[in-house]
Chain A
Amino acid sequence: MSFINYSSREINCKIVYYGPGLGGKTTNLQYIYDKMSPDTKGKLISLATETERTLFFDFLPLALGDIRGFKTRFQLYTVPGQVFYDASRKLILRGVDGVVFVADSQIERMDANIESLENLKLNLKENGYDFEKIPFVMQYNKRDLPNAAELQEMKTILNPKTSPDFEGVATKGIAVFETLKAIAKLVLVEMKRSTAVR
Chain B
Amino acid sequence: MAAVDKKKIIESASKFIAKNQFDKAIKDLQKILELEPKNNQIALKIAELFLKLDKKQDAVSYYELASNMFRDSGFYDKAIAVYRQVLSLSPPSADPYLKIADLFRKKNLTAEAVSNYKIAIAIYEKEGKVQEALKILKTITELEPSNLPGRMKLASLYIKNGLKNEAYKEFVHIAEKLIEAKKTIDLITVYEKILTIKPDDSNVSKQLIKLYLARGDYQKVLLRVKEIITLGKPDTDALIALAKAYTALEKTSLAVSAYKEVAKLYTKEGLVPQAREIYKKVLEIDPTDQQALQIVTGAGPVEKPMIEIQPEPLESTEVHAGKAPKTSEKSAEAQQEKKTAAVPPEPRGKQATEKKEGLSAEAIDKYLSEAQVYKRYGLNAKAVEKLLQVTAVYPSHKTALTELFELYQADKKSKEASEIAEKLYNILMADGDIERAEEIIRKALANDQDNEVLKALAGESAGPTEVKAEQPEGTAMSEDIGQTSAPEARTAPEQVEAVESKEEVAGQIPQEIDTGIEIEVEAPMTPETGAEAAIGPDDGVSDRAEGARAQGEGREEPREEVPIPEQIEFTPEAGSGEPETGKAPSGDEIEFSFSEEEMKEISPEAPAGKQEQPAGRPAHGSHEQGAGMDVIDALDEAEFYYQQGILTEAKGILLKILKSFPNEERAKKKLAEITAKEEESISASNEEGLTELGESFIQKEAPVVSASSDEDLFDLARELENELSTSVVKTDEPRPEEDQQVSVEEVLEAFKKGVEKSVDKEDAETHYNLGIAYKEMGLIDEAINEFNIAIVSPDKKADGLIMLGMSYMGKGLPGKAIEMYKQALASKGGVKQKNIGLLYEFALAFEAYGDMKSALSYFQEVATIDGDFRDIKDKLHRLAEFSEGETIAQPEVEKPAAKEKFTLDDILTEEQPQAQEEKAPIKQEPVPQAPVMGPKTDERTYTQGADADKGKPKQPKKKVSYI
Interface hit among B178-186, B253-261, B421-429, B441-449: B178-186
Residue from A11, A69, A115, A195 within 8 A of B900 (CB atoms): A195
User: Is B769's beta carbon under 8 Å from chain A?
Assistant: yes
| Complex CA distance for A49 and B759, rounded to whole angstroms | 17
| Complex CA distance for A50 and B332, rounded to whole angstroms | 56
Q: Decide if B111 touches A94 in the complex (CB within 8 Å).
A: no
Mask for B188-229, Cβ within 8 A of A = 1, else 0?
010000000000000000000000001110000000000000
| Complex CA distance for A95 and B937, rounded to whole angstroms | 6
Residue from A77, A86, A111 within 8 A of B149 (CB atoms): A86
User: Is B742's beta carbon under 8 Å from chain A?
Assistant: yes
Contacts of B111 in A (CB 8 A): 90, 126-128
User: Is A68's beta carbon under 8 Å from chain B?
Assistant: yes
| Complex CA distance for A95 and B181, rounded to whole angstroms | 27
Q: Decide if A3 touches B186 in the complex (CB within 8 Å).
A: no
Could you say which of A10, A42, A83, A88 has the most chain B C-beta atoms within 10 Å of its C-beta?
Answer: A83
Q: Decide if B216 touches A70 in the complex (CB within 8 Å).
A: no
User: Chain A: which residue is nearest B736 at the CB level?
Assistant: A84
Contacts of A55 in B (CB 8 A): 747, 750-751, 754
Contacts of A69 in B (CB 8 A): 908, 911
User: Is B802's beta carbon under 8 Å from chain A?
Assistant: yes
Residue from A8, A61, A115, A191 within 8 A of B182 (CB atoms): A115
Q: Decide if A6 touches B931 in the complex (CB within 8 Å).
A: yes
Could you say which of B759, B907, B910, B935 has the most chain A C-beta atoms within 10 Å of its C-beta?
Answer: B907
Contacts of B905 in A (CB 8 A): 192, 195-196
Q: Decide if B934 touches A43 in the complex (CB within 8 Å).
A: no
- Closest Cβ of chain A to B809, distance in Å, is 13
| Complex CA distance for A192 and B736, rounded to whole angstroms | 42
Mask for A34-74, Cβ within 8 A of B = 1, else 0?
00000000110101010000011101010000011110000
Contacts of B902 in A (CB 8 A): 195, 198
User: Is B82's beta carbon under 8 Å from chain A?
Assistant: no
User: Is A4's beta carbon under 8 Å from chain B?
Assistant: yes
Q: Decide if B769 touches A61 in the complex (CB within 8 Å).
A: yes
User: Is A91's beta carbon under 8 Å from chain B?
Assistant: yes
| Complex CA distance for A57 and B905, rounded to whole angstroms | 33
Q: Which of B77-98 contact A (CB under 8 A)?
A: none
Given contacts A7-B931, A94-B777, contact A85 B747 (CB under 8 A): yes
Q: Number of residue pairs across A and B with beta carbons under 8 Å?
A: 193
Q: Decide if A92 touches B777 in the complex (CB within 8 Å).
A: yes
Q: Decide if B798 touches A8 in the complex (CB within 8 Å).
A: yes
Q: Which of B109-158 contact A (CB under 8 A)?
A: 110-111, 149
Contacts of B373 in A (CB 8 A): 107, 110-111, 149
User: Is A163's beta carbon under 8 Å from chain B?
Assistant: no
Residue from B831, B906, B908, B930 within 8 A of A67 (CB atoms): B908
| Complex CA distance for A191 and B898, rounded to whole angstroms | 17
User: Is B938's beta carbon under 8 Å from chain A?
Assistant: yes
Contacts of B938 in A (CB 8 A): 3, 95
Residue from B215, B737, B835, B903 within 8 A of A84 (CB atoms): B737
Residue from A3, A45, A94, A195 within 8 A of B758 (CB atoms): A45
| Complex CA distance for A10 and B803, rounded to whole angstroms | 12
Please count how many residues in chain A sit with their CB below 8 Å of the partner chain's CB atoms.
Answer: 61
Residue from A2, A14, A59, A115 within 8 A of B183 (CB atoms): A115
User: Chain B: which residue is nearest A126 at the CB level?
Assistant: B111
User: Is B755's beta carbon under 8 Å from chain A?
Assistant: yes
- Closest Cβ of chain A to B75, distance in Å, is 21
Q: Decide if B772 touches A3 in the complex (CB within 8 Å).
A: yes
User: Is B824's beta carbon under 8 Å from chain A?
Assistant: yes
Could you tell me the dominant secondary structure of chain B's interface residues?
helix
Contacts of B755 in A (CB 8 A): 45, 47
Mask for B417-440, Cβ within 8 A of A = 1, else 0?
000000000000000000000000
- Closest Cβ of chain B to A38, distance in Å, is 12
User: Is B250's beta carbon under 8 Å from chain A?
Assistant: no
Given contacts A7-B932, A47-B758, A198-B900, contact A14 B799 (CB under 8 A): no
User: Is B887's beta carbon under 8 Å from chain A?
Assistant: no
Could you tell me the dominant secondary structure of chain A's interface residues?
mixed
- Closest Cβ of chain B to A81, distance in Å, is 10
User: Chain B: which residue is nearest A92 at the CB level?
Assistant: B777
User: Is B379's beta carbon under 8 Å from chain A?
Assistant: yes
User: Is B175's beta carbon under 8 Å from chain A?
Assistant: no
| Complex CA distance for A91 and B118, rounded to whole angstroms | 14
| Complex CA distance for A82 and B763, rounded to whole angstroms | 31
Residue from B379, B778, B932 within 8 A of A6 (CB atoms): B932
- Closest Cβ of chain A to B892, distance in Å, is 17
Given contacts A87-B743, A107-B370, contact A157 B377 (CB under 8 A): yes
Mask for A1-25, Cβ within 8 A of B = 1, else 0?
1111111101110100000000000
User: Is B353's beta carbon under 8 Å from chain A?
Assistant: no
Contacts of A192 in B (CB 8 A): 903-905
Residue from B751, B765, B935 within 8 A of A1 (CB atoms): B935
- Closest Cβ of chain B to A129, distance in Å, is 9
Q: Decide if A156 touches B377 in the complex (CB within 8 Å).
A: yes
Q: Decide if B836 touches A6 in the complex (CB within 8 Å).
A: yes
Q: Decide if A94 touches B759 in the complex (CB within 8 Å).
A: no
Could you say which of B755, B898, B901, B906 has the most chain A C-beta atoms within 10 Å of its C-beta?
Answer: B755
Given contacts A43-B763, A114-B182, A196-B903, contact A56 B936 (CB under 8 A): no
User: Is A99's beta carbon under 8 Å from chain B?
Assistant: no
Contacts of B772 in A (CB 8 A): 3, 12, 75
Given contacts A47-B755, A92-B777, contact A195 B185 (CB under 8 A): no
Q: Decide if B741 touches A84 in the complex (CB within 8 Å).
A: yes
User: Is A108's beta carbon under 8 Å from chain B?
Assistant: yes
Could you say which of A7, A108, A153, A156 has the most chain B C-beta atoms within 10 Å of its C-beta?
Answer: A7
User: Is B837's beta carbon under 8 Å from chain A?
Assistant: yes
Given contacts A7-B837, A115-B183, contact A91 B931 (CB under 8 A): no
Residue from B374, B778, B903 within 8 A of A91 (CB atoms): B778
Q: Decide if B743 touches A118 in the complex (CB within 8 Å).
A: no
Contacts of B748 in A (CB 8 A): 56
Q: Decide if A7 touches B930 in the complex (CB within 8 Å).
A: yes
Contacts of A120 in B (CB 8 A): none
Q: Decide if A47 touches B736 in the complex (CB within 8 Å).
A: no
User: Chain A: which residue is nearest B750 at the CB level?
Assistant: A55
Given contacts A107-B370, A156-B377, contact A3 B933 (CB under 8 A): yes
Contacts of A10 in B (CB 8 A): 799
Q: Decide if B185 touches A112 in the complex (CB within 8 Å).
A: yes
| Complex CA distance for A67 and B377, rounded to whole angstroms | 44
Mask for A108-138, Cβ within 8 A of B = 1, else 0?
1011101100100000001110000000000
Q: Decide if B908 touches A68 in the complex (CB within 8 Å).
A: yes
User: Is B744's beta carbon under 8 Å from chain A?
Assistant: yes
Interface pairs A-B: 5 shortest CB-CB: A6-B837, A68-B908, A7-B931, A95-B776, A47-B754
Besides A111-B185, A195-B906, 7 other A-B contacts (C-beta < 8 A): A7-B837, A10-B799, A14-B776, A49-B750, A86-B741, A87-B149, A198-B903
A-B contact pairs, 6 of them (CB 8 A): A6-B931, A42-B766, A80-B747, A107-B373, A153-B374, A198-B902
The residues of A with any CB-CB pair to B shorter than 8 Å are 1-8, 10-12, 14, 42-43, 45, 47, 49, 55-57, 59, 61, 67-70, 75, 77, 80, 82-88, 90-92, 94-95, 107-108, 110-112, 114-115, 118, 126-128, 149, 153, 156-157, 191-192, 195-196, 198
